[in-house]
Amino acid sequence: MKYYTRRIVFYVLTLWVAISLNFLLPRLSPGDPAQIMIDKMSRGGEVTPEQIATIQRLFGGDSDQSLWDAYVQYLNQVIHWDLGTSVTKFPAPVTELISQALPWTIGLVGLATVISFLVGVGAGAIIGWRRGTWVDHIVPSTTLIQSLPYFWLALLLIYLLAVQNPVFPVGNGYDIREFGGPEWSWAFVGDVIYHGTLPALTIVISSVGGWLLGMRNMMVSTMSEDYIVTAEAKGLRKSRILMTYATRNAALPSISGFGITLAFVVAGSIVMEQVFSYPGLGKLMITAVRGNDYALMQGLFLVITLTVLAANFIMDIVYGFIDPRTRSNA
């Protein structure tokens, strides 16, 4: 039990530091939201003095609040899940923007990551099992694809499969021409899957190589372990050795890596969401950064930090169960 208490204390401390940093960072960077908005609007056309007066009134906030007071107020807001109001998407609350985007990212990036993991680890296990045969040639080709810049691969696929031969749509989470907004119907669900296929495909293609290579190498070194030799000597079925003896042990490092990857799913795949105009958190983050929208940035960073911590915590606990050695040594 001591192990878990230590972990919990550690995570609470980390959380507090993360939240405090999150509070401080935007305050160290320059920028007056009113000025930013006027600047942005004046590039698009005329800004009337009336509009400017309104902007000053809404955003030219009182800044004589002390840092400590602001910090206490911020902590209080975070506890009540009030992350402030976005400037770029004014007057939408940050929490609303995040909860709108979250399902899209988790749905697409999460699913694509799981698929990529399963395919990569599965294929890696088989290739490692049959090392030295022709299947080894698959490894370099997948790593080659992975080494291609993601945006390039994505744009290439869009060009080939969406623009030249319109098999898939160019972008968006669903057909925004057809549907005025998300709705619960089979037509809509089908449309979401149809729109998600190409982006998911690009994620899988570009990330499967890493899983595959790691798994294959672990597999090869596991195969030379004594207990594999023992299992073979006992005359166990090949499939049983592959699944129960080799793969289970070889997959351990991949599983811990998978935990971290899952945590970062929440951060979205920024490039993917940008290229496909996918309405997820990564896209939201770009919007926030480009618009110097500190409230939104803070909110996003907080959500990402929380998920990464939570995922790490869960992996720690799970690992404690799977591998007793981590428990005693920690």
Partner 1 sequence: MIRSTGRKRLLAVTSLVAGVTLLAAGCGGGDDEGSGDGTKSPAAAEGTDTDRTLIVWAGAEPPITANFNPFSPTLLAGTNGVIYETLFYYNKTSAEAPRPMLGESFEWNEDGTELTIKLREGVKWNDGEDFTADDVVFSLTNKFTTRAYITGAEAVDPLTVKVSFDGPEFTNEFSVLGTTLMVPEHVWAEKEADVEAALTWTNEDAPVGTGPYTVGETSADSYTFEANPDYWGGKPKVAQARYIGVAGNQSAQDMLTTGQIDWTGMFIPDPDSIVSSSGDAVGYVNTPQDPTAIYTCANVDLGCEGPQTDVAVRQALNVAIDRTEINNKAFVDLAAPVSPTFALLGRDDKWIADGMPKESPQTANAEEAMKILEDAGYTKGADGIYEKDGQKVEMTLTSPATWTDYNSTNKLVAAQALKAGIKIDVTEPTQQEWGDARFSGNFQLTLGGIVGTSVPDPFQIYKDWFTTDATIKVGETLEPGDWNFTRYSNPAVDEAVNAAAATNDEAAKKDAYAKVQAEITEDLPYIPVVVNATETFWNAKDYTGWPTEDNLYAFPPAWGAGASGLILSQLGGTE
Contacts of 316 (CB under 8 A, 6+ apart): 7
Cβ burial, residue 38 (10 Å; 0-12/13-18/19+): middle
Q: How far apart are CA 61 and CA 69, in angstroms?
A: 15
The window from 106-114, 130-138, 163-171, 190-198 that contacts partner 1 (CB under 8 A) reads: 163-171
Q: Does 62 bind partner 1 (CB under 8 A)?
A: no
Q: Which of 180, 224, 226, 235 binds partner 1 (CB under 8 A)?
A: 180
Q: Which of 182, 177, 159, 254 is nearest to 212 (CA)?
A: 254
220 φ/ψ angles, rounded to the nearest 5 degrees? -60, -45
Stretch that binds partner 1, among 72-80, 129-137, 263-271, 284-292 (CB under 8 A): 284-292
By the rule CB under 8 A, 277 interacts with partner 1: yes
Kindly tell me which of 52 and 148 has the beta carbon lying closer to partner 1: 52
Distance of closest approach, residue 36 Cβ to partner 1, in angstroms: 7
**Which residue number, 73 or 277, has a Cβ lying nearer to partner 1?**
277
| Residues 94-153, interacting with partner 1 (CB under 8 A) | 97, 100-101
Closer residue to partner 1, CB minimum distance, 89 or 131? 89
DSSP 225: S
Which lies closer to partner 1 via its Cβ, residue 172 or residue 249?
A: 172
Task: Name the segment binding partner 1 (CB under 8 A); options: 11-19, 50-58, 106-114, 119-127.
Answer: 50-58
Q: Which of residues 27 and 248 has its CB atom nearest to partner 1 in the complex? A: 27
Question: Which of 1, 2, 28, 57 lies at the binding interface for partner 1 (CB under 8 A)?
Answer: 57
Residue 51 Cβ vs partner 1, minimum distance, rounded to whole Å: 6
Member of 18, 111, 145, 162 binding partner 1 (CB under 8 A): 162
- Kindly identify the residues of this chain, within the stretch 203-242, that bind partner 1 according to CB under 8 A: none
Q: Which residues are within 8 A (CB) of 189 and not within 5 positions of it... i.e. 6 or more apart? A: none
- Which positions ≥6 away from 305 have C-beta within 8 Å? 15, 18, 19, 22
Residue 78 identity: V
d(CA 303, CA 267) in angstroms, rounded, equals 8
- The single-letter code of the amino acid at 36 is I
| # residues contacting partner 1 (CB under 8 A) | 55
Q: Which of 94, 125, 106, 299 is nearest to 214 (CA)?
A: 125
**Phi and psi at residue 60, to the nearest 5°:** -75, 65
List residues near partner 1 by CB under 8 A: 30-31, 35-39, 41-58, 86, 89-92, 97, 100-101, 158, 162-163, 166, 170-174, 176-177, 180-182, 273-274, 277, 279, 283-284, 287, 292
